[in-house]
A and B are shown apart, each in its own frame.
Chain A
Amino acid sequence: MTDRPLSGRAAIAGIGQTEFSKRSGRSELQLAAECTLAALRDGGLEPADVDGFVSFSLDAVDEIELARALGCRDLTFFARVPHGGGAACGVVQQAAMAVATGVADVVVCWRALNGRSGQRYSQGVAGQIVTTDLVHWGWYAPHGLFTPAAWTALAARRYLHETGATSEDLGRVAVTLRRHAARNPNAFFYARPLTLEEHQASRFIAEPLRLYDCCQETDGGVAVVVTSAERARDLPQPPAVILAAASGAGPEQEVMTSFYRDDLTEMPEVRAVARQLWAQSGLAPADVSCAVLYDAFTPNVLVQLEAYGFCGRGEAKDLVREGWLELDGRLPVNPHGGQIGEGYIHGMNGVAEGVRQIRGTSANPVRGAEHVLVTAGTGVPTSGLVLGRA
C-alpha cells in the first residue's frame, strides 16, 4: 500500500442518463435500467461485465432487480450510501474502493427517481418519505418543520446574519446557474435565463429562501461506470480518473437539522470531505479548473465555496459579486446549470457533468479543465470527488 491508496486507482469510464422531465411516464426501475445501459454502452462495456452496484439508500430500485432487468451475471459487491443527496459522490467512493481493493472490477453507480411525478421532496417528510430515523424527525415535524427548504432556511438565515450576504447574493447564484443552463440543451431551463429582478420578485417558500433559490423536482436517471484506471485506458472514452473520493460527517451531525452546533454556518462535514480530497489528490483549491457544487438551494453554494477553501469565512458573497462562478470566471461553477438549472437527480447529474468536463464534451466546456471538484448534498453527511485526466 502506498500512502495514497485510493488516488488514481479507479476511473469513471462511462456515463449515461435518461432525459430529464417533469413526468417520465415510466417506472424508476426502467429509468435505472435505461441510464445504466447507456452508461455501459458509452464506456464500451456490456451488462455481463458488471459485478458491482452502488446507489443511494433513498433510491427505490433494488440492485438485484436492476441486475435482472439488465441480464447481469454474478455480482460480488453491492452497497448503499445513506443521507439523501449527501450520497452523490459517496457512491463513487464506494465503487472506487471496491475496484482499488479488487473486490469488484466494473461497478455501476446509479440514481433514478420520479422526483416530480412521483414522490416530491418539496412536500416534506410528513408521513411521506420513509426514514429509519423517525425519532429525529419527531423533534421538527410536529412544529411544521418538514421540508428541505424549511430545514435549510434556518441555517441560511443565520449564515446571512453572520456574513452580511443578502437575498440578492443568493439571487446572483441563481442567475448565474440559470445562465449556464440556458446554454445546455439537456437542461429544463434551456434557453430560459433568469434575471435578478425576477429572482427578487419570486415568492417566499421558507424565508429567506425564495422560489428561485430552490432546485427543481425532476424525473430521470443518471448512471456512471467505475472501473480500474488501468482498464479504463483501454476503453473508448477518455477516462475521468478519480484523484480523490471522500465522505464526511461532523460532530453533532444530524440529517438536515444540525441545529445544535455552536456555529450553524461552519459545515464541519464539508470541511472533513475537503480535507481528505486535498490530502488524497495532493491538490489545493487553486488547482481546481471547475467546480460542480451541490445546489439544492442557493445558500449551499456559498457555504461550500468557503468550506472547500476557495475563500475565507463570509467571503463567498464577494466571489459571487466578482463573477468567479461565471463560465469565464476564475472558478466556473455548475456549467451544466446545476440542480437549479439542469435538473435534480440528487447530485448524480453533477458527477456526469464532472466527467464531461474532463472529456471536454460538456455543453459549456471549461477550456483546459484538468481538475474538477464534484460535491454532494449540503446539510447532511456528505461526500466529494476530484476528477482528473489520465
Chain B
Amino acid sequence: MTLAAEALDARLEGFVGREIGPPETGPDPVNAPMIRHFCEAVGDACPAYLDADWAARSRHGGLVAPPAMLQAWALRGLRPPPRDRLVELLALLREAGYPDVVATDCEQTYERLLRPGDRVTLRTTIESVSKEKTTALGPGRFVDLRLAFEDAQGAGVGSQRFRLLLFKGAGGAAPSLERPRRPRPPASEDTRLFAEGLARGEIRIERCAACGRLRHPPRPMCPACRSLARDFAVASGRGIVHSFTVIHHPQFPPFSYPLVVALVDLEEGTRLVADLVDVDPAAVAIGMAVEAEVREVEEGLALPVFVAAGRASGRRGPEGAGGAARALGAGAAARPSARVPAARASTLRADEVAVGDALPPLDVPITVTGIVAGAIASRDYQDVHHDPGAARRQGLPNVFMNILTTNGYVGRYATDWAGPEAVLRSIAIRLGVPNLPGDTMTLGGRVAALAGDEATLAVEGRNGLGVHVSGTVRVGLRPRGGP
C-alpha cells in the first residue's frame, strides 16, 4: 500500500464511530399531504394511510404513515446541507477518486407506526468505511450509516442501517447495462417448420408424409419408413406433465427463478420441453394436465410455454391459430399486461398463512415520471434521480429509481398481500441492477418464516437486467384464533 493510501485510510478511520453532527428534526411533522404524495408515487392505496374514516375504525385507531417513509420525515430536502461530518466524508472520498454515490442497502426497523402530527428527529452515526472493493459499478468504498429516529418525547420510533457506495463511475469500468437475452434457437433447414409455426402462433409437430408418423424434435428422415417427405400437424397444446424440474441455481438474468421447466406428453403422442409458467412451483406434479400456448417471451422470441390446464389465454389448433397469429402480429399486445394483484381488503390472520406460501407477482412499469415522483415524495433530491445528464455522467443511460422508492414498493407489496391492518415491523433490502425507464420490475415473494403473529417475507424484484432488489420484510398479521 502506498503512503498516500495509508494516509487516506487513517483519515477515513477518524470518521468511524462518530455522529455526523447534532440531531436534526424534520422540517414538517408527519402529515397527510406528504403521505398521499408518497402513496401515489408507489401506487399504494392502503386505507390505513389514506382513508381517515376507515383508519379510525381499524385497529390502527386513526391514520398512520407508510413505515417506508421513515427517513423522508427527517430529510432536509432542498435546504442547503450543514457542514456535517458526512458531507466532509463524502468530499474526502470525492477527492480520493470516488466521485459517484449510490445507496445499496437499507434496513429499516419500526418501533411504532407514525401518525400525523408526530415530529421526527434523526441522529446519524458513521459506522464504518470499507477498504476499496471491486463492485459491478467499478472500484468503490462502502460507507455504513446508522440512523436513529426519535419522536418529540425522545422515544425511539425506528432505526435504519444505510449503506452507500462511493465509486469511480464514468471514469471506472462502466456497468454492463446490455439487456441479457435468452439464447436463440439456431436456424436450420431441419427445424424451419417448427420456427415458422411459432411465428404464426402454432406448435407444429413434424409428420412423415408417407406413413403419417409424428416425430419431435424434427429431423429430415422418417426413422420408421425412411421417407424424406414431410409435413406437419398442429398440436392442440393439451398435454400431461411427464417430468419436470424446478431450477434454482445458477441463475441467468433473462429468466425468472425458481424456473419450472416441464417435459410434456402432448395428446398427439410426442413430447415437448418448455417452461411451465404462471404456476406455484410447489403445485407442479407428474401427471398434471397442462396446455401450451405460444408467447413472445421477449422481444423477437416466440416460444411455446405451458400453463396449468384451463389457464391458457387462447386456444391453439387450426381454429385458434389465426387468433394467435394476430395477437403476435400486434407486437406489444401479445405480451402479458402488467399483473397487479388486488390488495387484500381484510387482513390475514397468522393461522391463515403457511411457510412457503407464494405472494402473487406484482409488475411495476418503470417510467421517468414514476422515478421522479418517488424521489421527490421521499425527499431525495440526488440529481441522478431526476436529471438524465447527471445519471449519464455516472455511467447510466437515464435517471434511475432511488432506494427509498424501491423501499416503498416493497412495503406496499407486503401490505397489499397481508391486508390494511397488518403492521410492518421491518424492511431490509439490498439493491442490485438499477430500475431504468422503459423496464418493468416484477416483485415476487414467499413466506420464509412464521413466529407468533409475525410473518417474515422473502421478497425479490427483477427487471430486464436482473435482480433489482432482494430483501426481507417482517409483518405483523392478525393474531391466531382471533376474529
A residues sitting closer than 8 Å to B (CB atoms) are 122-124, 126-127, 134-147, 150, 153-155, 157-158, 161, 203-208, 257, 259-260, 264
**Most B C-beta atoms less than 10 A away, residue of A147, A257, A260:** A260
Knowing A144-B255, A158-B242, A259-B273, say if A205 contacts B191 (CB, 8 Å): no
Using CB atoms, name the residue of chain B closest to A205. Answer: B249
In the assembly, what is the distance between CA of A142 and CA of B274, in Å? Answer: 9
Question: B111 at the A/B interface (Cβ < 8 Å)?
Answer: no
User: 15 A-B residue contacts at CB 8 Å?
Assistant: A124-B250, A135-B191, A138-B186, A142-B297, A143-B275, A144-B261, A147-B247, A150-B245, A154-B245, A157-B244, A206-B247, A206-B248, A207-B245, A207-B247, A207-B281
Partner of A260, one of B216, B252, B303: B216
In the assembly, what is the distance between CA of A265 and CA of B184, in Å? Answer: 29
Contact with A along B169-208 (1 / 0, CB 8 A): 0000000000000111110101100000000000000000
Using CB atoms, name the residue of chain B closest to A134. Answer: B186
Number of chain B residues whose Cβ lies closer than 8 Å to a Cβ of chain A: 34
Q: Is the CB of A145 within 8 A of B190?
A: no
- Shortest A135–chain B CB gap in Å is 5
Residues on B with beta carbons closer than 8 Å to the beta carbon of A259: 243, 263, 271, 273
Interface residues of B in 354-392 (CB under 8 A from A): none
B residues sitting closer than 8 Å to A (CB atoms) are 182-186, 188, 190-191, 216-217, 242-250, 252, 255, 259, 261, 263, 270-271, 273-275, 281, 286, 297, 301, 303
Q: Is the CB of A144 within 8 A of B246?
A: no
Q: Is the CB of B248 within 8 A of A157?
A: no
Q: Is the CB of B246 within 8 A of A206?
A: yes
In the assembly, what is the distance between CA of A126 and CA of B184, in Å? Answer: 10
- Shortest A144–chain B CB gap in Å is 4
- Shortest B55–chain A CB gap in Å is 42
Q: Is the CB of B186 within 8 A of A158?
A: no
- Shortest B442–chain A CB gap in Å is 16
Residues on A with beta carbons closer than 8 Å to the beta carbon of B249: 203-206
- Shortest A162–chain B CB gap in Å is 9
Q: Is the CB of A143 within 8 A of B273?
A: yes
Residues on B with beta carbons closer than 8 Å to the beta carbon of A146: 183, 252
**Most A C-beta atoms less than 10 A away, residue of B185, B244, B274:** B185
Residues on A with beta carbons closer than 8 Å to the beta carbon of B184: 138, 142
In the assembly, what is the distance between CA of A230 and CA of B182, in Å? Answer: 55
Residues on A with beta carbons closer than 8 Å to the beta carbon of B303: 142-143
In the assembly, what is the distance between CA of A206 and CA of B259, in Å? Answer: 9
In the assembly, what is the distance between CA of A146 and CA of B250, in Å? Answer: 10
**Most A C-beta atoms less than 10 A away, residue of B184, B255, B261:** B261
Q: A141-B185, A147-B250, A207-B248 are in contact. List 11 more A-B contacts (CB 8 A).
A: A138-B185, A143-B274, A144-B255, A144-B261, A145-B247, A154-B244, A161-B286, A205-B248, A205-B249, A260-B270, A264-B242
Q: Is the CB of B182 within 8 A of A142?
A: yes
Q: Is the CB of B245 within 8 A of A157?
A: yes
Knowing A146-B183, A204-B248, A260-B216, say if A157 contacts B261 (CB, 8 Å): no
Using CB atoms, name the residue of chain A closest to B270. Answer: A260
**Most A C-beta atoms less than 10 A away, residue of B183, B185, B303:** B183
In the assembly, what is the distance between CA of A157 and CA of B241, in Å? Answer: 11
- Shortest B129–chain A CB gap in Å is 31
In the assembly, what is the distance between CA of A348 and CA of B123, in Å? Answer: 63
Residues on A with beta carbons closer than 8 Å to the beta carbon of B242: 158, 264
**Most A C-beta atoms less than 10 A away, residue of B216, B250, B259:** B250
- Shortest A155–chain B CB gap in Å is 7
Knowing A124-B252, A126-B252, A259-B273, say if A135 contacts B188 (CB, 8 Å): yes
Q: Is the CB of B182 within 8 A of A144?
A: yes
Q: Is the CB of B273 within 8 A of A145?
A: yes
Q: Is the CB of A126 within 8 A of B183?
A: yes
- Shortest B338–chain A CB gap in Å is 22
- Shortest B206–chain A CB gap in Å is 12
Residues on B with beta carbons closer than 8 Å to the beta carbon of A264: 242-243
Residues on B with beta carbons closer than 8 Å to the beta carbon of A203: 248-249
Residues on A with beta carbons closer than 8 Å to the beta carbon of B247: 144-145, 147, 150, 153, 205-207
